[in-house]
Chains A and B, each alone.
Chain A
Amino acid sequence: MVVKVYGPIKAACPQRVLACLLELGVDFELIGVDLDSNEHKQPGFLQKQPFGQVPVVEDEDFRLFESRAIIRYYATKYGDKNRKLYGTTLEEKALVDQWLEVEAHHFNDMVYTIVLQKLVIPKMGGKTDHDLVQNCEKKLEQVFDIYEQRLSKSSHLAGDWFTLADLSHLPGIRYLVNECELSHMVRDRKNVNLWWNDISNRPAWKKVMQLFHELS
């Protein structure tokens, strides 16, 4: 039975889950959820995901939400398919968890606000708070400075190989270098640029992008 992933391909969090499943070669069925018509806030969806957010996965009798919990679960379950994705030792795993937390808090909070203000709010007829955007961009530059330092010591965030910590950044950086027109944040930093080129050219992520273009 294939894993069912509920959520639109255009949203960051479902992309995070799909990238992970594709890295592991786990078959899935993507079931769209129409955010524009508030499908995610309807009773039927709230039964699956009580916070009214995407994605949620269903795997036989098991249901799970929160994309970073989902990727941890599958990387553990199918660890034999890619041992390095979540670390092979306790210490390696701890570093993956550490940088996953960094992505979830320091990085994601800024990207989320920038995307909301620059893309979503104008689309809904509202006004962008430019001061807030400028503030977030400044903080994001500081985060990328820390990444630049880190990536001068190892090729990827948690060590010298691709892990969930790097994977988790793919959807957010995609937004930054495309619709948000902030690609300079990546391109202006030698190590971050090398890292982004590496992780965004992985076959699994390219497949997510293929689906993104097919289904959008």
Chain B
Amino acid sequence: MATPVKVYGPPLSTAVSRVLVCLLEKDVPFQLVPVSMAKMEHKKPDYIKMQPFGQVPAFQDDDITLFESRAICRYIAEKYPNKGTMSLFGTNPLVKASMDQWLEAESQSFIPPSSVLAFQIVFAPRMKLKQDEALIKQNEAKLVKVLDVYENRLGSSQYLAGDEFTLADLSHLPNTQFLVEKTNRAELFTSRKNVSRWWSEISTRPAWKKVVEMQNA
């Protein structure tokens, strides 16, 4: 039996949880190796050898060391096509292209404003930093535009890339979880009929519920 794959980083991190939910969707056993950001372990030489940008996560299996969560997810989904959720990587080249398109849209258009909002509203107060109201307002406006596009898309498609759950949907789980569950901005998602339906479906998947448990532990 192959050694469990290793994922380095705290489960609360957006990028780490993205990889964890992918591994759980694919039924791939893993070992989560803690990395204390507070103690700057992610900037120490041993960690930098795996991840030269000093960020989480890093990933290792018998064949490769990788970083960048979406690259890791792609690798896992392609390496185990017949395990767990088989639709994750797209069932044919056109669906896969659509998955890539919405995964890029997530990383280029959804992540910047949602990350700023998550940091400003959830994490800044915890770190005793002053919230930047102008920045919050600016990024809420950007996120609204993105969610309007999603609302339209999800009116004619069950999931972002098509009729099945793929990495494109999965990639949205961490930041949406923060905004819906840990801020008073949930209505950005819940007031949009199709986005709300989509969020309800993807967030109640057993794999994501397990990651949320890990985050709350």
Q: Measuring CB to CB, which residues of chain A are less than 8 angstroms from any residue of chain B?
A: 50-51, 62, 64-66, 68-69, 72-73, 76-77, 90-91, 93-95, 97-98, 100-102, 104-106, 146, 149-150
Tell whether, in the assembled complex, residue B66 and residue A73 are in contact, meaning their CB atoms are under 8 Å apart. Answer: no
For B103, the chain A residues whose CB sits under 8 A away are 69
Chain B residues, CB < 8 A from A77? 93
A residues less than 8 Å from B93 (CB atoms): 73, 76-77
Q: Is the CB of A94 within 8 A of B71?
A: yes
Looking at the complex, which one of A51, A98, A104 makes contact with B109 (CB distance below 8 Å)?
A: A51
Asked whether B204 is an interface residue with its Cβ less than 8 Å from the other chain, the reply is no
Q: Is the CB of A73 within 8 A of B71?
A: no
Q: Are A93 and B64 in touch, CB under 8 angstroms?
A: no
A197 to B195, CA, bound (A): 46
Residues of B within 8 A of A100 (CB): 71
The contact size tier of chain B is 20 to 34
B140 sits at the interface (CB 8 A) = no
If the complex has contacts A50-B152, A97-B74, A98-B67, are A66 and B100 also in contact, measured as CB distance less than 8 A?
yes
Cβ B70 vs Cβ A97 within 8 A: yes
Nearest chain A CB to B217 CB, angstrom units:
28
**With contacts A91-B64, A94-B64 known, is A101 near B78, CB below 8 A?**
no
Structural contact, A94 and B107, CB atoms closer than 8 A? no
A73 to B101, CA, bound (A): 10
CB < 8 Å: which of B75, B100, B105, B152 contacts A73? B100
Nearest CB of chain B from residue A112's CB, rounded to whole Å: 10
Bound complex: CA of A150 vs CA of B53, how far in Å? Answer: 12
Question: Of the candidates A50, A97, A102, A104, which one forms a contact with B75 in the assembled complex, judged by CB atoms under 8 Å apart?
Answer: A97
Count, A-B residue pairs, CB within 8 A: 78
Output the nearest chain A residue to B168 by Cβ-Cβ distance.
Answer: A69
Q: 15 A-B residue contacts at CB 8 Å?
A: A50-B152, A64-B98, A66-B100, A66-B104, A69-B97, A72-B100, A73-B100, A77-B93, A94-B66, A94-B72, A95-B64, A95-B66, A98-B67, A101-B68, A101-B71
Give the residue among A64, A65, A97 with the most B Cβ atoms within 10 A.
Answer: A97
Once the chains bind, are A102 and B68 in contact (CB under 8 Å)? yes
Given A104-B107, A146-B52: A91 touches B63 (CB 8 Å cut-off): yes
CA distance A50 to B94 in the complex (A): 19
Q: Are B74 and A149 in contact (CB under 8 A)?
A: no
Seed contacts A68-B104, A73-B96, A97-B68; 20 additional CB < 8 Å A-B pairs: A51-B105, A64-B97, A64-B98, A64-B101, A65-B101, A65-B105, A66-B100, A68-B100, A73-B93, A73-B97, A91-B63, A91-B64, A94-B72, A95-B64, A97-B71, A97-B74, A97-B75, A101-B68, A101-B71, A105-B107
Q: What residues on B are CB-neighbors of A90 within 8 Å?
A: 63, 75, 78-79
Assembled-state Cα–Cα distance A68/B78 (Å): 18
Whether, in the assembled complex, B184 has its beta carbon less than 8 Å from a beta carbon of chain A, the answer is no
Which chain A positions have C-beta within 8 A of B146?
Answer: 51
Contact B100 A50 (CB under 8 A): no
**B216 close to chain A: CB less than 8 A:** no
- Residues in B48-100 with C-beta less than 8 Å from chain A: 52-53, 63-64, 66-68, 70-72, 74-75, 78-79, 93-94, 96-98, 100
CB contacts (< 8 Å) of B191 on chain A: these are none
Least Cβ–Cβ distance between A80 and chain B, in angstroms: 14
Bound-state CA distance A142–B100 (Å) is 28
Do residues B71 and A98 form an inter-chain contact, with CB atoms below 8 A?
A: yes
Determine whether B3 belongs to the interface, using a CB cutoff of 8 Å to chain A.
no
Q: Report the minimum CB–CB distance from A90 to chain B (whole Å).
A: 6
Chain B residues with CB under 8 A of A101: 68, 70-71, 107
